[in-house]
Structure 1
Amino acid sequence: MGTVPLKAAGLNVKNLLEGAKEFRKKFFQKKEWHLNKKAAFYAQNYQKYPINVMFAYSNMLSSFKDWFVQLFGESLGKDGKEIMPVGHIGSIDQHSFLQLLMEGMGKKTLTFVKIENFQSKLTIPDINLPYLEATDFVNAHTFNELINKECDSTLEALLSKNYPIDLITISQINEKNTGNLIMYYEILTSAIGSLLGINTYNQPGVELGKQILRNKF
């Protein structure tokens, strides 16, 4: 159903589905077996690490991180078990949330999503401004470089706090790679749910609210 508005928006739906098909095929050929290890870690440690925080380093992944929150929330919060999803865009949101991660209670796993090539030639001007000399180290570097080095630096800082961290690297954002990423998370979510012994595909918890709403009219 979701492919209909994508097609209307002019996106190449065929490439999206091909990307998803490609990742699914590689997974069942055991070429993406790391996904099972990740699912097993989450399932075995969901009480020790009940929150998974995603930092997606591109504004173009804003809708994706929102979908991730919906996917984990509706699929894995059942039978007294949960892995609470938190989605952020780096580096925008890290300035408000990084303090909590560095000096808070911990008890979270972290996932970084990094884009190798933004397909943009935007370069930071090589200029000096009085009293802002401390920022000159970024001058004449590309925006792509800055964002990815911020990703690397934040990841390195959080590793010093012994967080369980994984990094997903995408060559560039296009329909095929997005299809890969969607299938990655659909398989991961299903695997975690299976290991937790819950049904990832139903949403009984939302029904009571709907019934209460209907009775209010």
Structure 2
Amino acid sequence: MHVDIGNALAEVATPGVSEAALERLDAEVADAHETIAAGMSNAVFGYASLNLPETTSASGIERAVADVDADAVLTVGIGGSALGARTVTAALGEPEHYVLDNVDPEHATRLLDSLDLPRTAVNVVSRSGTTAETLANFLVVREAYEDAGVDWTERTAVTTGETGPLADLADAEDLPTLAVPEGVPGRFSALSAVGLVPAAILGHDAEAVLAGAREARDTLSGSLFDCPAYAYGAVAVALERRGAHTNAFVPYAEALEPFAEWFAQLWAESLGKEGQGQTPARALGATDQHSQLQLYRAGRHDKVVTLLRATERDDRAIPDTDVEGLAYLGDATLGELLDAEFEATEASLAAARQPNVRVEVERVDARGVGDLLFSFEAACVLAGELMGVETFTQPAVEWGKNAARGLLGAGETEEAAAVRGKREYRIE
């Protein structure tokens, strides 16, 4: 991964970071890196996430699912138990990976009705095995298979912790079982079985994803000037300190749109604490140049725009045309047009003094997505260190889970009582 922070400098953008401020910030980065490196070395909770490129066994994952014969995969999970896997398969161009990560009944019914169940594997993921949304959806999926006369046990792989209802079910039914790695929060688990099982079932090279992540891991150093991941995380924090409270994340590749969703969870859940944290906004280039860009260029100076693209891709020529005003397109390709749109957006933002950062990866492929996943995880961990927050916890998320469990009858909770005590002011 390569990062260009030129359009986030104070001479270009408002807010912006001066080169002198970057030098001062680099001393903070050096101290933070010592903490991160020590945490990795000792496999401390959270920091162990950055060891996954070395500790995850691609061959072990492939052996575990070798007997799962399917042409499509349905992942049942939520949050980090689904977003990483979806990000990987999208980057690999895999169209036969489906995700059930919400308990919207109409959506669940439409999705299950659209699937060819005899040729679809089920990939159910929950560390605790007690996640309400995941277990509810899995029960619905299992019933759909039974109603269709399809043996779900021959098509189901489970990724979970050592104990819990899912672990017990997998043991009772002799299902292929993979471990959620110890010491790794869900949103940091894409480079483990949590994120790689669907790709492995569908015959993709999981080891290549890990190889790309290892290449990114090798760039970690005590200076933001030598490490693209740290450069991104440090500049994001510096801009937030100066008022850039939104991070608009804009990939210029359809295959990276799920990556933007993965980034949004990573950035929000890890850094949104103690009155701090940038709000991630998702967009897609060039599509959203015709919608959101108006705000990013002409709105408040309270955001940084992250522009992500691949420098190499398969391309397609634009056919010649005699239509006046369009003939110039016949000398170009779709890729050249996309690059022109990217660079025009970047220049447009800079001209309006809106800070933006360019991120590039060589290709959107197995190595490229591994590189991006690791690099942004490292950037996020560094950002948390610089901000002084507990990067790897999610207390606000747990509050909502406790409230939902109480409302569904799993025992009265303080959070459920708060929901029932809602202040109403209805207008009908």
Per the normalisation by structure 1, the TM-score is 0.91
The answer (yes or no) to whether the contact 1:193–1:200 under 8 Å persists in 2 is yes
Query: What does residue 100 of structure 1 align with?
Result: 295
Inter-partner Cα distance in structure 2 for 1:164 and 1:134: 33
Corresponding position of 2:252: 57
Separation in structure 2 between the aligned mates of residue 68 and residue 150 of structure 1, nearest angstrom = 22
Superposition deviation, residue 34 in structure 1: 4.3
2:207 corresponds in structure 1 to 14
Residue aligned with 2:378, SS: helix
Query: How far is the alpha carbon of 1:87 from its aligned partner?
Result: 1.7
Corresponding residue for residue 43 of structure 1: 237
Match of 1:144 in 2: 335
Q: In 2, distance between residues paired with 1:158 and 1:177?
A: 26
Q: 1:74 maps to which residue?
A: 269
Q: How many residues align?
A: 213
Give 2:321's aligned residue: 127
2:246–2:303 CA contact under 8 A, matched in 1: yes
- Which consecutive residues of structure 2, in runs of 5 or more, have no partner in the other structure? 1-193, 409-428
**Counterpart residue number, 1:169:** 360
Tell me how far apart the structure 2 counterparts of residues 191 and 65 of structure 1 sit (CA, whole Å): 19
Question: Is 1:112 matched with 2:303?
Answer: no
Residue 205 of structure 1: CA displacement? Answer: 0.7
Gaps of 5+ in 1: none
Q: Is the 8 A contact 2:310 2:361 kept in 1?
A: yes
- 1:163 aligns to what SS in structure 2? coil
2: CA distance, partners of 1:173 / 1:63: 12
Q: Identify which of 201, 204, 218 aligns with 1:25.
A: 218
Q: Cα gap change, 1:134/1:98 in structure 2, threshold over 3 Å: closer, same or farther?
A: farther
Deviation for aligned residue 1:3:
1.1
**CA separation in 2, counterparts of 1:44 and 1:193?**
12
Aligned-partner Cα distance in 2 for 1:27–1:65 = 23
Equivalent-residue separation in structure 2 for 1:146 and 1:209 (angstroms): 44
Q: Residues 137 and 92 from structure 1, CA distance in 2 versus in 1: closer, same or farther, beyond 3 angstroms?
A: same
What RMSD over aligned residues (CA atoms) do the two structures have, in Å?
Answer: 1.7
More displaced stretch, 181-190 vs 136-145: 136-145
From 403, 407, 410, the equivalent of 1:216 is 407
Q: 2:385 aligns with which of 191, 194, 199?
A: 194
In 1, distance between residues paired with 2:319 and 2:230?
A: 45
Contact 1:117 1:144 (8 Å CA) reproduced = no
Q: Is the 8 A contact 1:115 1:148 kept in 2?
A: no
Contact kept in structure 2, 1:59 and 1:89, CA below 8 Å: yes
Q: One-letter code of the match for 2:368?
A: N
- 1:181 and 1:37 mapped to 2: Cα distance? 14
> Hey, what's the Cα distance between the residues in 2 that align with 1:93 and 1:69?
17
60-69 or 3-12, which deviates more: 3-12
- Give the deviation of 1:98 after TM superposition: 0.9
Distance 1:16 1:97 in 2: 32
CA gap of 1:110–1:98, structure 2 versus 1, over 3 A, is same
* CA distance in 2: counterparts of 1:29 and 1:173, whole angstroms: 28
Structure whose alpha-carbon radius of gyration is higher: 2
Offset at residue 159 of structure 1 (A)? 0.6
Q: What residue identity is the alignment partner of 2:365? A: N
Residue 173 of structure 1: how far off its partner (Å): 1.3
Q: Distance in 2 between matches of 1:146 and 1:29?
A: 38
Which of structures 1 and 2 has the larger relative contact order (alpha carbons within 8 angstroms, sep 6+)?
1
| Whole-Å separation in 2 of the counterparts to 1:62 and 1:9 | 20
